[in-house]
Structure formats: structure tokens, C-alpha cells
Structure 1
Amino acid sequence: MAATPAPQSLDAYSPERIADRLRIQDLVYRWCRAVDRLDKQGMLDIFWPGAIDSHGPYIGPAEGLVDWILVRHQPIATSSHFVGNLLIEFASEDVALVETYVRTIQQYPPEAKQQLAQLTGGSAGDEGTAMDMFTSSRYLDRVERRNGEWRVARRDLVQDWKQIQDVKYKALQPREGWIIGKRDGSDQTQMARRELGLEATK
């Protein structure tokens, strides 16, 4: 569907547009938190129902993407998504194109070789060895406002670079009292949000 050209009078930095920019940025930040915490509803809330995501091995509706992630990430103990450059261009009052640079770090145990091979095109490292995967990619999102709410209507994952390395030494050896990230719904951030009544806040 072709977007209506942006009106010449559209001020990309009016107070209303700045508020829109912050709401759109929050979509990207919320996605990173949701996928790293394996928060199903949090991931679904980023997309409009039926939105299409082209995510490398998975291409299809966002609902299927979320189910695919939940299965593929099950054996992955650690996942971190970092976003950098985030450029928002308004095509109209209610449509924007958003390009976000994203880096990921994920650790794959030996039993997750099949999941790792899906993302690398076949490479999975040495047999029986845990692997760290580092990526540099971009989210290219068509974001639409419907009924006053911004969500992603289409996402293309543009893959620029990947690298995998053997995990020779497990550097994190937690001591008593250390807070360790979790992906089972009991992460410290999730518990703090529940405590403050923020769980349903978008």
C-alpha cells in the first residue's frame, strides 16, 4: 500500500511530532525488553494484528514470529538487544518509516546448535561447545498510528553482520546476593514493575 506523500506543511519537529517520536522510540525500546525477557504479550503489543515481519528464517505474521521466538529462544539463557541510531521519517500524519540500528549478544549452549544454525545460514561452531553470537542489524519498520496509537505494521530485519565465538571460559560466576538476568518471568525488572503496578503500562 503506497503511503500518502507527506504534506509540505508537515512540521517534523513540532511539539506534537516530538511526542510522536518519543512514542515511536518507546516501541523499539519495549521490543528489546520484551524479546530479551521472553515476554509474549510484550512482543505482541509492538505490532498491529497481522503485521508482517521478515526476520530471516521466519517471514510471516508477527503473531507467528513471536511463537517462533518463544520456541527458538527456550534454551538460550542470555539475550541482549542494544539499539543505537534511530531515524524516524514521517510519510504522513499517521505513517512513519523508522530505521533502527541494533546489536545483539546471545549465548547458545551446545544443545542449541540447531537454533544457532538457523540464524547464521548453517554455521554453529564446534560440536559440544557453547557459542556467543554477536550481530549488527537494522530494523526497518513501517509504523502506523491507528485510533491514536502507534504500532509496527511491517518490519524488515536487515542483516549486516554476524560473528560466533567459542565460549572458552564462563566469566560470570555469581556470588551470593548478585542479581542475575532471567528469561522466565522472574527478572528483577519484571518484579519491580509488578511491585509498582506498571505491568500493564505501555
Structure 2
Amino acid sequence: MTTPAGRHDDLERSLRELLDKQAIREVCLIYARATERRDAEALATVFHDDAIYEHFQAPPARANGSAREFADKMVAEMRAAPIKVKGLMIPSTLVELEGDVAFAESLGLSLNPMEINGEQVTYLRTLRYLDRFERRDGEWRIAHRIVLHGGYERFEAAAPSPFVEHFAPGGRVSPTPTTCSTRCGNGCVPRPYPPPVSDRGRSTPTADVGGPHVVPVRRHLEEARRRVLPGIL
């Protein structure tokens, strides 16, 4: 029979886990918000100062002592990309806690209006974020993030995108977007998406990270750290 003290301990442990998972979830949401707004100050709060970042379109990178400088570089690369604005949603995050370390897998949905060869097109992508979080000085941040590419679809715009006009008037990101609609159903024509950069020979993390549980994410991240760290220290 569980004693009142035991029930209290169980409740406290469960509450602590919920609070930790919510803190981690909020970090993922801040990343999405900072990416949409190209906000380096907010983006810097997501990563530890020695964080590793692997994106399927680029070689692995490391913060090297300053999350803010790392975030500034990421935002500069975003501004130089052909994407006029990026709508990024994180609808789900699965978290496994291990003391001051956590492993998370998040689904991302990315809406990317852009101009290619003078043509206005919109890409709808699915992404997966595999994260190693670490709690340092009581704060959860990302120590290692891997971004994997999932499915994608390309659409020709039937009309100027209100998403771009309201979210980024004149091609500049607004801090207070008012509209995120792409007016689906107005005759957009789906076309095959060109192969991602990773399919054309550049570095990309690959592994089986599927399944109903987050354990493969931990294994994949541990293998990635052993592979990546020697090359970027």
C-alpha cells in the first residue's frame, strides 16, 4: 500500500517531468517563432554555447562558445536564401527525460513562398527535428540538433500570396504578422519538388529513426555526436 508520503513523492516527480517536458516544448516553439521572424536574439536562447547543428542542406556546424554569434550567422544565411518568408509550425514533440539530459523528436511543417527563375512558387515541406537537450544552470537548451527532410510538395501560385504580403511586406519580415493564409483551393497546381541538396551529394544525416518510441532518436544522436565532434572541434 502506498503511503501518503509516497503518493506525494510520486505526484511531485510527475509534476517535475511535466514541467521539464513543457520547458523543452517551449524551446522548440521559440525556435519556430525565431526562425519565422529571423530573430537572432530569440534564436540564441534556444541553443547552448557549444551546440551542434546538422541540417540536411549543409555540413555540421558548432556554436563554438557563443550561441548569439551562432544565431546571427544562422539568421544571415536565412536572409540570403531565396525563401521570402518561412512559416514554420511544430505540431508535435515527443520527449524522453534522463535526468539533466533529454531526447526529443519534433515534427515540423514548413511553408516556403519563394521566387525561382522569376516564377512565384510555394513549397510545403515536412521536417523532423532530432534533439539532445541538456539542462544547465536550471535551463533546458539544445545541445545537438539534427534536421531531417521528409515529404514535400510544390505549388504554383494562382495569385500573389497574402502570406508573403502580410507577414513580410515588401520582402521584409514583420514582427507582428496578421495573415498566414495561402488561399488553398484557388487553382494551385502541384508539381514535383526538385531533389533536396542532400540528394545531390552533400552531407546529410541518415538513419532509421522511425518507430513509436523516442529511443531511436537517442541512439541516432549519440552516433551523430561520435561522427561529427572530431571534425568540428
The number of equivalent residue pairs is: 160
Pairing 1:43-54 to 2, within 5 Å after superposition: 43-54=43-54
Q: From the CA coordinates, give the structure whose radius of gyration is larger.
A: 2
* Identity of matched residues, %: 23
Aligned counterpart for 2:83 among listed residues 67, 76, 79: 76
C-alpha RMSD over aligned residues: 2.9
Corresponding residue number in structure 2 for 1:188: 176
| Partner SS for 2:34 | helix
CA distance in 2, matches of 1:27, 1:146: 14
Q: Which amino acid aligns with 1:108?
A: M
> Residues of 2 paired with 1:64 and 1:154: CA distance?
13
Would the aligned equivalents of 2:85 and 2:173 in 1 still touch at CA under 8 Å?
no
- Length-normalised TM-score, structure 2: 0.60
Which amino acid is 1:181 matched to?
F
Q: Identify unmatched segments of 5+ residues in structure 1.
A: 1-8, 111-126, 190-202
The answer as to whether partners of 1:40 and 1:70 remain within 8 angstroms in 2 is no
**Are 1:52 and 1:153, in contact at CA under 8 Å, matched by a contact in 2?**
yes
Instruction: Structure 2 unaligned segments of length 5 or more: list them.
Output: 1-8, 64-68, 178-233
- Report if the CA contact (8 A) 2:126-2:152 is conserved: yes
Report the AA paired with residue 78 of structure 1.
V
Q: Of Structure 1 and Structure 2, which has the larger fraction of its residues in strand?
A: 1
Structure 2 residue aligned with 1:28: 28
Q: TM-score, normalised by structure 1?
A: 0.69
Q: Which has a greater percent of helix?
A: 2
Alignment partners' CA distance in 1, 2:92 and 2:135:
22
Q: Is the 8 A contact 1:36 1:81 kept in 2?
A: yes
User: 4+ runs of 1 displaced by more than 4 Å?
Assistant: 9-13, 62-66, 183-186
